[in-house]
Amino acid sequence: MKKLVMIGNGMAGVRTIEEILKLAPEHFEITIFGEEPHPNYNRIKLSNILQGDTSFDEIIINPLDWYKENNIQLYTGEPIVKIDAEAKRVISDQGREVEYDELIIATGSKSFILPIPGADKQGVTGFRDIHDCEMMIKSSKEYKKAVVIGGGLLGLEAARGLLNLGMNVDVVHLMPSLMERQLDHIAASMLKAELEAQGMSFLMEKETVEILGDERVTGLRFKDGSEVEADLIVMAIGIKSNTEVAKNSGIYVNRGIVVNDFMETSVPHIYAVGECAEHREIVYGLVAPLYEQGKVLANRISGFEAAPYKGSVTGTQLKVAGVDLFSAGEIFEDGTTKSIMAYNEYDRIYKRILIRDNKIVGIVLYGDTKDSTKLFRMLTKQEDISGITSVSILQSECSVSGTSDDDIASMPNDELVCGCNGVTKGAIVEAIKTQGLTTLDQVSHCTNAGRSCGRCKPMVASILEHTLGDQFDASAAQKTSICGCTTLSREELVEEIKAKGLTSVKEVMNVLGWNNEEGCTKCRPAINYYLGMIHMDEYKDDRDSRLVNEKMHANIQKDGTYSVVPRMYGGVTTPQDLIKIAKVAEKYNVPLVKLTGGQRIGLFGIKKEDLPSIWEELNMPSGYAYGKTLRTVKTCVGAQFCRYGTQDSMALGIELEKKFERLDTPHKVKMGVSACPRNCSEAGIKDIGFVGIDGGWEIYVGGNGGVDLRAGDLLCTVKTKEEVMEMTGAYLQYYRETANYLERTSKWLERLGLEHIQGVLANEETRKALNERMDKTLKKYIEPWDEAIHSEEIQEKYYTKHTIRVGE
C-alpha cells in the first residue's frame, strides 16, 4: 500500500479523501494532520451556529469514527511545520515524522487581520473556526457592543449572528456599497436597507487605522479621525491562504500554492487542494470549486484518467434570514456588455443579467432568486440566448420554486441543483431510481446534494417527490433516518425491534432490510443501545458494535495510546488508592498523570497491551471516562466540612454514582452535587445537578458545560435523599427510553420541553414503573476491567499488540 499523507483536516481536503476512498479504497494507507483539535466539520455552518440555528455536534461532517472505520490515522491539534520533500516526509510541531509516497496540502486559509496598532488586543477576532465562534458567543454574554469590520459575505453573516446574540452591531465598510464584489449598487442598497431594518448599523467608506483600549478593546479610530466604541471587533475583510509550510519547503507559492490543472504543485508527489491552492491565478473561497478540484485530484492520485480542472464560475448567496440574493459572474458593465434588468421597487425585487455576445456573463438577483439555477446553468454552459425574449428570461416561467411539480418536470437534467456539491437534477433522479431512495437523507448520502450549506434541500425534496410520484410519502421523505443504511427513523426502529422481537444487531439489519449488510459506525452502536434499552436484563451486549473507546474500555488518545481513569466515587479518594495509582504510574512510565475535570486522576499515554495489567494492579473499577454512560458525580465537601453546607453532598454523590455507574445512556451523563447554592460543584451546568437547600434538595436538569453552554432548569424540589434517588432514576430512565442515540440531555430536554418532562415525572405510578425498568437494567452490568483481567479471550481479542488497529 502506498502512503498518502494529508496536511489539513478541513472541508476540501477531507472531501478529496472521500473521493479517493470511493475510487480506490484499498490503495492507500492514509494519515491526516489537522491543526484544529476537531474532526472535519462544516465550516459554512459556523454562521448558523453563531446565528443560533444549530450546534457544533450537528455540523461535524466526518465524526472520529469515520476515520477509524476507514483506517485513517488522524492527528488532531498537531500542525505540520515542515515538509522534507527530499526524504518525502512531514514533520509535526510535536516532532513526529511521517513518510509519504504522495502528499496533499489542504491547509485552507486564515482570516486576514488588519496590520494596525491594537489588532492584538483582547476582544479582536477573525471569523474562521469554531474557536472564533465560541469567543464571540462568550463575549456576547459579557459585553454589549460589537463592531464588524468588512461588509462582505462573512462580515454580514457574522453581524447577523451577533444581533441574534443580543449585541448592538455596527458594520464598518471600506467601500461605498456592501458586497461590492457580488452586488451592483441597486442590489447593495436594497440589501443595506433590509439589514438596517433588521437592526444593523453601517459606517460606510471608513478606513480603520487603530484599535483602541488597554488590554481589551474599547473602540476603533478611523482615518478621518472619528471613533466608535466597541467591546468586540470581528475582522471579516477577506482571507489569506495558509502557505507557510509549503513556502518554507521550497514549493512554488504565489498568492496560494501554485498548482496545474491536476492540482500538482511544483514539487513531484506533492499536491494542493482547496483555499490554499492557486489555480490559473485564482484562489477560490467557496466550496463548490474546491470540491471540483478535489474530484480531479482524487482521480489523478488514484491513477485514473480524468478531465483536467479548468477553473470554475462561482455563484454566491448570503446566509441571512430575510435576505434572498444570488450573484454570479461579472457584476459591472463594460463597453462589450449589455444588461437586461427588472426592478420592482414595491415588492423589493431586483434582477439584472449581463450579456456579452448573446451569452449570459453575470447575474444579480435580489428579493426573488427562483431563477438562479436556470440562469446559472445558462451562464456556465454559455448557452446562446438570442432566441429568448428579454421578458421571458427574467420571468421565472420555467424556474423551479421548489414546490411545483411542473417546474421540476420542465427543469433540464443538466441543471445544477446543489451548487456547493455540483449535483444536477439528472444525477439526483438517477440515484433515486437506481438505488431505490425514498428520503432526503438518503439522497444526500448518495449524491452529496445538501451536505454543505443546505440551501438546496427544498429543491431536492421536490425532485424526490416528482420522481417517486404516487409512491412518495411526504412524512417518510422528511424524516431523518438513523443513517444512510436504512430509511427507518429512531422511533420506527424501536417500534420494529419491539414488534418483531428482534434481539441482535445482525438480526435487526437482516430483518429490517438494511441496504448495507454490515451497517456503519452510525447505526451499529445505535442499534446496540436500543436493543439493550428495550430488552433490559436479557440483552447480550454486542461489544464489536460499540464505538472504539467503549469497545476498548479506555479512551484512545491522538497518538494511538490510551488513558486509564479509575472511579473515585464522588471525587473522594483514599491514601491506599493514591499509592496504587502512583505505583502504577511509576512502574509503567506513564507520561502524564493528571487531575481530570470530573474530580479524579487520569493516567495518559498508556500502551494498549499494558491496559489489562495496569487495571489488575490498580484493582479499582473503571471510571467509564470513555462511555456513553454516567461519567462522574462531582461533589463539594458539603455539610461534613464546609460551614455553609446544609446537606451531605459527598454522601449523596457517592450513592448516586454507585447506583448509576455503568448504565448505558444515549450519550454521556454528568452529575454534580452541591450542599448549598454557592454551588462549588457547578451543579447548574450538569446533566443532572443537585443543590442543597434548607430542608431538601433542588434538582436541576439539562445543564451543559461544553461547547453548547447551557444552564440547567429547575426540575423540582424534594425533601429527602430517597426522593432524590427516585426522581433521578425516573428522569434517567425516561431519557434512556425517549432520546435519540447520541442526543445529550440538554438537547433532549429542549426537544421534549421541560413542562412535558415535569408532567410525566409528576405521576407517581409512572415514576414507579420507570424505576422498576431502571432497576431491572442496572442488574445486568458487570465491571469491564475486572472482566478483561479474568478473560484470556478478551485479552487476546482486544489487548494484544497484534489485534485491533486504531481504525477498527
Ligand X SMILES: Cc1cc2nc3c(=O)[nH]c(=O)nc-3n(C[C@H](O)[C@H](O)[C@H](O)COP(=O)(O)OP(=O)(O)OC[C@H]3O[C@@H](n4cnc5c(N)ncnc54)[C@H](O)[C@@H]3O)c2cc1C
Judged by the rule CB under 6 A, the positions of this chain that interact with ligand FES are 418-421, 449-456
Cell of 152: 462582505
Torsion 132-135-136-137 (CA) sign? positive
| Contacting residue, 540, 678, 719, 805, with ligand SF4 by CB under 6 A | 678
| Contacting residue, 136, 148, 149, 154, with ligand X by CB under 6 A | 154
Cell of 153: 459575505
Is the Cβ of residue 64 or residue 113 nearer to ligand NAD in the bound state? 113
Q: Are 636 and 649 contacting, i.e. CB atoms less than 8 angstroms apart?
A: yes
The minimum distance between CB 678 and ligand SF4, in angstroms, equals 4
Span of 31-39, 473-481, 535-543, 713-721 interacting with ligand X by CB under 6 A: 31-39
Report the distance separating Cα 513 and Cα 491, nearest Å: 16
Is the Cβ of residue 208 or residue 299 nearer to ligand NAD in the bound state? 208
Instruction: Tell me, residue by residue from 198 to 227, as one string, x for binding to ligand NAD by CB under 6 A and - for no binding.
Output: ---------xx-------------------
Span of 29-37, 66-74, 162-170, 704-712 interacting with ligand X by CB under 6 A: 29-37
| Other C-beta atoms lying within 10 Å of the C-beta of residue 324 | 18
| Contacting residue, 39, 151, 402, 666, with ligand NAD by CB under 6 A | 151
627 touches, from ligand FES, ligand X, ligand SF4, none (C-beta below 5 to 8 Å by class): none
Q: Choose among 213, 255, 211, 215: nearest CA to 234.
A: 211
What is the residue whose three cell numbers read 439528472? 426
| Other C-beta atoms lying within 10 Å of the C-beta of residue 581 | 24
Cell of 645: 453546607
Report the distance separating Cα 547 and Cα 529, nearest Å: 11
| Contacting residue, 83, 172, 669, 680, with ligand SF4 by CB under 6 A | 680
| Contacting residue, 113, 228, 239, 534, with ligand NAD by CB under 6 A | 239
Span of 11-19, 60-68, 259-267, 591-599 interacting with ligand X by CB under 6 A: 11-19
Strand partners, 316: 327
Q: Are 408 and 400 contacting, i.e. CB atoms less than 8 angstroms apart?
A: yes
Cell of 490: 429512531
Report the distance separating Cα 260 and Cα 481, nearest Å: 41
Where in 414-473 is the site for ligand X (CB under 6 A)?
420, 453
The minimum distance between CB 328 and ligand FES, in angstroms, equals 13
Contact call for residue 645 and ligand SF4 (CB under 6 A): yes
Where in 62-121 is the site for ligand NAD (CB under 6 A)?
114
Instruction: Tell me, residue by residue from 165 to 204, as one string, x for binding to ligand NAD by CB under 6 A and - for no binding.
Output: -------xxxx---xxx-----------------------
What is the residue whose three cell numbers read 423540582? 716
Report the distance separating Cα 393 and Cα 408, nearest Å: 17
The answer on whether 485 is annotated among ligand-binding residues is no
680 touches, from ligand X, ligand FES, ligand SF4, none (C-beta below 5 to 8 Å by class): ligand SF4
> What separation in angstroms does the CA of 157 have from each of 151, 162, 331?
9, 9, 21
| Contacting residue, 124, 156, 220, 290, with ligand X by CB under 6 A | 290
Q: Are 105 and 270 contacting, i.e. CB atoms less than 8 angstroms apart?
A: yes
Contact call for residue 636 and ligand SF4 (CB under 6 A): yes
The minimum distance between CB 5 and ligand X, in angstroms, equals 11
Where in 434-473 is the site for ligand SF4 (CB under 6 A)?
none
When CB distances to ligand X are compared, the closest residue is 10
The minimum distance between CB 291 and ligand FES, in angstroms, equals 10
The answer on whether 676 is annotated among ligand-binding residues is yes
CA angle 571, 785, 555 (to 5 degrees): 70
| Contacting residue, 108, 525, 638, 712, with ligand X by CB under 6 A | 108
Q: Choose among 109, 173, 169, 172: nearest CA to 139.
A: 169
> What separation in angstroms does the CA of 365 have from each of 62, 323, 353, 396, 450?
34, 11, 8, 12, 22
| Other C-beta atoms lying within 10 Å of the C-beta of residue 802 | 7
Torsion 367-370-375-376 (CA) sign? positive
9 touches, from ligand NAD, ligand FES, ligand X, none (C-beta below 5 to 8 Å by class): ligand X
128 touches, from ligand X, ligand SF4, ligand FES, none (C-beta below 5 to 8 Å by class): ligand X
Q: Is 87 exposed, middle or buried (0-12, 13-18, 19+ CB in 10 A)?
A: exposed
Contact call for residue 9 and ligand X (CB under 6 A): yes
Helix, strand, or coil (residue 262) = coil
| Contacting residue, 152, 329, 454, 684, with ligand NAD by CB under 6 A | 152
638 touches, from ligand SF4, ligand X, ligand FES, none (C-beta below 5 to 8 Å by class): ligand SF4
| Contacting residue, 265, 467, 622, 679, with ligand SF4 by CB under 6 A | 679
287 touches, from ligand SF4, ligand X, ligand NAD, none (C-beta below 5 to 8 Å by class): ligand X
What is the residue whose three cell numbers read 484599535? 211
390-425 burial: b if 16+ Cβ within 10 Å, else e:
eeebbebeebbebeeeebbeebeeebbbbbbbbbbb
| Other C-beta atoms lying within 10 Å of the C-beta of residue 790 | 11
DSSP 335-370: TT-EEEEEEETTTTEEEEEEEETTEEEEEEEES--T
| Other C-beta atoms lying within 10 Å of the C-beta of residue 306 | 15
Report the distance separating Cα 373 and Cα 377, nearest Å: 6
What's at 782, amino acid-wise?
A: I
Is the Cβ of residue 148 or residue 654 nearer to ligand X in the bound state? 148
Contact call for residue 599 and ligand SF4 (CB under 6 A): no
555 touches, from ligand NAD, ligand FES, ligand X, none (C-beta below 5 to 8 Å by class): none
669 touches, from ligand NAD, ligand SF4, ligand X, none (C-beta below 5 to 8 Å by class): none
Is the Cβ of residue 325 or residue 394 nearer to ligand X in the bound state? 325
> What separation in angstroms does the CA of 339 have from each of 189, 313, 345, 361?
19, 19, 18, 10
450 touches, from ligand X, ligand FES, ligand NAD, none (C-beta below 5 to 8 Å by class): ligand FES
DSSP 28-85: EEEEEE-SSSSS-B-GGGHHHHHTTS--TGGGBSS-HHHHHHTT-EEETT--EEEEET
The answer on whether 636 is annotated among ligand-binding residues is yes
Helix, strand, or coil (residue 804) = coil
153 touches, from ligand NAD, ligand SF4, ligand FES, none (C-beta below 5 to 8 Å by class): ligand NAD
173 touches, from ligand SF4, ligand X, ligand NAD, none (C-beta below 5 to 8 Å by class): ligand NAD
664 touches, from ligand NAD, ligand SF4, ligand X, none (C-beta below 5 to 8 Å by class): none
Strands (E), 295-415: 315-316, 325-329, 338-344, 349-356, 359-366
Is the Cβ of residue 286 or residue 757 nearer to ligand FES in the bound state? 286
Binding residues for siroheme, as ranges, are 680
Binding residues, as ranges, are 636, 642, 676, 680
Binding residues for [4Fe-4S] cluster, as ranges, are 636, 642, 676, 680
Note the residues at the interface with ligand NAD (CB under 6 A).
114, 149-155, 157, 172-175, 179-181, 207-208, 236-239, 285-286, 316-319
Note the residues at the interface with ligand SF4 (CB under 6 A).
636-638, 642, 644-645, 649, 674-676, 678-680
